[in-house]
Amino acid sequence: MPAITELSQLDLNASYSYADYLTWQFDEAVELIKGKISLMCPAPNVKHQRISWRLNGALFNYFESKPCQAFAAPFDVRLYDRRKSLLADKEVTTVVQPDICVICDSSKLDEQGCNGAPDWIIEILSKGNSKKEVKTKHALYAESGVKEYWLVFPYEEVISQFVLDDGAQQYRLLNSYAGDDKAVSYLFPDLAVDLAVLFKEL
């Protein structure tokens, strides 16, 4: 089989696994959503990156002396129904790159990234990808068992905080933060993000 060095060599209607994904050698950033290739948005803009940098700084400081670890994209997270045990690469068909994720179970970490659901995921929406983030990933993260999920809306300057209802395997909206609010993590209640600082323009 020839090496896959161009996205155009792939059939976007076909289904692929994480084992396939690992062999691709092209520059475009893609995710796999239940076997289907999902093209990622172009490089994030300044507003997105500023927010990401500030969130990463806050999480780095908080988790530096704690067992949980925070990671920023690009970082592969392999997801599957949490009712299943760990899967081989050829069986994994969903690989995403959240903007930020926090992982407390170190056994899920390997050289490729995270194998299984992080405890907390933060996605910073970009223009053009909100439908995927809000609908598709919302369902994926719930199905795989991500306990806390934040959606950051840069232009509205709002954070929506979801927590997983284990019984229903669905998210419930816990809080919407805006203005001068401090967004407080559900899993880590002594970690608060000041929205006035997060969204401040330089």
Whole-angstrom CA distances from 34 to 10, 90, 128, 170, 193 are 16, 12, 21, 18, 33
> What is the 3-state composition of the chain as percent helix, strand, coil, each rounded to the nearest 5?
25, 30, 45
How far is it, in rounded angstroms, from Cα 62 to Cα 143? 28
How far is it, in rounded angstroms, from Cα 170 to Cα 146? 10
CATH 3.90.1570.10 in the chain, residue ranges? 46-198
pLDDT at position 173: 96
For residue 32, count other CB atoms closer than 10 A to its CB.
22
CATH of 46-198, one of 3.40.630.40, 3.30.70.270, 3.90.45.10, 3.90.1570.10: 3.90.1570.10
How far is it, in rounded angstroms, from Cα 59 to Cα 66? 11
**3-state SS assignment for residue 48:** helix
How far is it, in rounded angstroms, from Cα 133 to Cα 130? 5
Mean pLDDT by 10 residues, the chain (202 residues): 83 92 89 89 83 95 94 93 64 92 96 95 82 81 95 95 89 96 98 96 70
Q: Which of 80, 85, 89 is nearest to 18 (CA)?
A: 89
pLDDT at position 130: 57
Tell me the pTM: 0.91
pLDDT at position 58: 95
